[in-house]
Structure 1
Amino acid sequence: MNLASLDLNLVVALRALLEERNVTRAGRRVGLSQPAMSAALARLRRHFDDDLLSRVGGHYELTALGQVLMDRTSTACDLLERLFTSQADFDPATESREITIVASDYAVAVYGAELARTLHREAPGIRLRFTQTPSGIVEAAGTLLSTTDGLLMPHGIISDFPTTELYRDGWVFLVAEDNAEVGEHLTTDDLARLPWVTYRRIYDAPAVRQLGMLGIEPRVEVSVDSFQLLPFMVAGTRRIALIQELLAEKLRGLAPVRVMRPPYEAVPLQEALWWHPVHTHDAAHIWLRETAARVAATVAPGQAIHGTDEGDPEDRSREG
């Protein structure tokens, strides 16, 4: 397909048609007359060799291809908007825009809150929006990064995208204060014997995947969508949970639990800001990446990883 031969205005028209499922409303949305939008629909039908919209009774429904195109068209429009709003210069003190970062509740609590305070002081016109990391992030990383400003996530889950390195964190276990089955030190037998509370998919964390090398398969009793719920799911039970050390410190005292060291050398968490290559030379995003790295030094003193890695993604994936 020769992109130069395509009318990219049709992408905007296609999105409106698929979302509105009505030619008149779609035309009104993008500023086209009803005849002009009908002509655009005819061109799109010829291009895709599909009706896209089919009449069912008194209304239109999407065809199978139309359903597929709706999500892809939305992503394409978001990416084009980000591409054509790229800036050569950026003044954080005067600019007004929204920055969207995908992150878990752990990353927001430990790092995102400090990033938000820094932006509040230095860039009062910037609106910072955090959205929850989707469960299918491994499969959808490319699409997600193309429509947002970045993703806060440790190495070991996704790869092959540019990163700005932030900070390191360790892992600890939570055990109920009244759990008499666990002594002063946690043992590998405890990990195999006791039920677990986990965040979503247990094997997402490299520190948990290590257990397989020790011959331990965690027995998951409860799974939650929030790292900050782990202490409350452990308190008053026989359960244990693996949690990031910096978050455990922030949550200390909120639930009657003990914080214990792993009985094995857990791989440390290396947090990073992942971003799409479309942002590489955008002045606003360069400022965001530099600010993110600077803030990381205040989150975990002595553990920040300074600098932005903008080299070969394959090299980064091997290092991560």
Structure 2
Amino acid sequence: MDTVRIDLNLLRVFHAILEERNLTVAASRLGLSQPAVSYALGRLRALLEDPLFVRAGNEMQPTSAAQELREPLRQAIAAAEQTLQLMVPFEPSTSTRVFRISMSDIGELAFLPPLCAALQKEAPHVRLCIQSVPPSQIEESLRIGRLDLAIGNLPALLDRTPHCRLFHDDHVCMTRRREGLPEDVLTLEQYLALPHILVGSLESGHYQIEAQFREKHIHRLIALRVPHFTVVPRILARTDWMVTLPRGAIHLLNPDEGFAVYDLPADMPVLTVTVHWHADFKDHAANQWLRNLIVRTLSGPLHESL
């Protein structure tokens, strides 16, 4: 295949059909007529020697070959959009740029409400795309522009990417209020006697505490492993289990104070929440503006215990 002769507009049509699964809707999205989209699809089929889509009722179902192309094509289009945005002067009040930020689910709960409020005030047309990217992939994603910024407790990135500290935090533990619990101080023996919920994957910042426990030869009974914090309060309310979490998450997951919260009965390193970017975008106006907005919005006394 002579890729030099390929009309790249055909890829935009392909992507729109993949997303919309309907020729009419895809045409409307692209500002084209349906015959023009059908013609482009015919050219793609001939070029790639695959039907790409088969009609099923009102939907266009992608073939296996089309499905395999979906993610690489999405990444290519996103990279092209990011590249073109670099050429446009950035004005927050009028920009329609899409910023891609990595953060955890607890980060979404804590950071997005104040951040979205600040964006609505200063850049009402800017859009956010929030992703949860494994720490091992963040540096590369920042380098190629798949991510603009990453926010979180990311110690592995501190020596590898430019960053700015937002705030410090520490760990506490939380369980359902009930008779028999200590009033103020939880001993390590009492802590280890309870089943625990472990939040996070092997690459999650929240999972690091488990490695730190092992280094101290502290072994918890893990009753449940889940990838997100958001379900934890509903589980705690129905069990006698315990979860270990950042202190700043208490007001998000325990707003009615229905859970007992204790200082962690073991010394653990302080958490440092940082915002990261890639050195190649250090002086890029849009990236610089967004990270400055994040620092202003998420650091300081309001968030020192988030």
Distance 2:69 2:100 in 1: 24
**Partner SS state of residue 85, structure 1:** helix
Residue 82 of structure 1 corresponds to which residue in structure 2?
A: 82
State percent identity of aligned pairs: 24
Residue 238 of structure 1 corresponds to which residue in structure 2?
A: 240
Q: 1:102 to 1:268 in 2, by over 3 A?
A: same
Residue 14 of structure 1 corresponds to which residue in structure 2?
A: 14
Residue 62 of structure 1 corresponds to which residue in structure 2?
A: 62
- CA deviation after TM superposition for structure 1 residue 217, in Å: 4.1
Please tell me the residue identity of whatever aligns with 1:113: P
**Conservation of the 8 A alpha-carbon contact between 1:187 and 1:263:** yes
Please tell me the residue identity of whatever aligns with 1:248: I
Please give the residue correspondences for 1:132-147 in structure 2 after superposition, counting only pairs within 5 Å.
Answer: 133-134=131-132, 137=134, 146=145
- CA deviation after TM superposition for structure 1 residue 219, in Å: 2.8
Distance 1:155 1:250 in 2: 21
Q: 1:140 to 1:70 in 2, by over 3 A?
A: farther
Q: 1:38 to 1:118 in 2, by over 3 A?
A: closer
**Conservation of the 8 A alpha-carbon contact between 1:97 and 1:125:** no
Please tell me the residue identity of whatever aligns with 2:153: P
**Partner SS state of residue 10, structure 1:** helix
1:264 equivalent to 2:266? Answer yes
Distance 2:299 2:188 in 1: 34
Count of aligned positions: 301
**Conservation of the 8 A alpha-carbon contact between 2:17 and 2:60:** no
Q: In structure 1, which of residues 269, 294, 297 is the aligned counterpart of residue 296 of structure 2?
A: 294
Q: 1:143 to 1:14 in 2, by over 3 A?
A: farther
**Conservation of the 8 A alpha-carbon contact between 1:198 and 1:220:** yes
Distance 2:279 2:41 in 1: 32
For 1:54-93, what per-residue CA distance to the aligned partner results, in whole angstroms no more than 9, with x for missing partners?
A: 5789985422111111233233223322321335543434
Please tell me the residue identity of whatever aligns with 1:259: V
TM-score by length of structure 1 reads 0.69
- CA deviation after TM superposition for structure 1 residue 210, in Å: 1.3
Distance 1:22 1:6 in 2: 23
Please tell me the residue identity of whatever aligns with 1:65: A
Distance 1:273 1:2 in 2: 43
What's the Cα RMSD here? 4.4
Please give the residue correspondences for 1:154-233 in structure 2 after superposition, counting only pairs within 5 Å.
Answer: 154-156=153-155, 163-178=163-178, 180=180, 184-201=184-201, 204=204, 205=206, 206-222=208-224, 227=229, 230=232, 233=235
Please tell me the residue identity of whatever aligns with 2:78: D
- CA deviation after TM superposition for structure 1 residue 289, in Å: 0.9
Distance 2:225 2:65 in 1: 36
For structure 2, the residue ranges without an aligned partner over 5 or more in a row are none
Distance 1:140 1:41 in 2: 34
Residue 308 of structure 1 corresponds to which residue in structure 2?
A: none
TM-score by length of structure 2 reads 0.72
1:153 equivalent to 2:155? Answer no
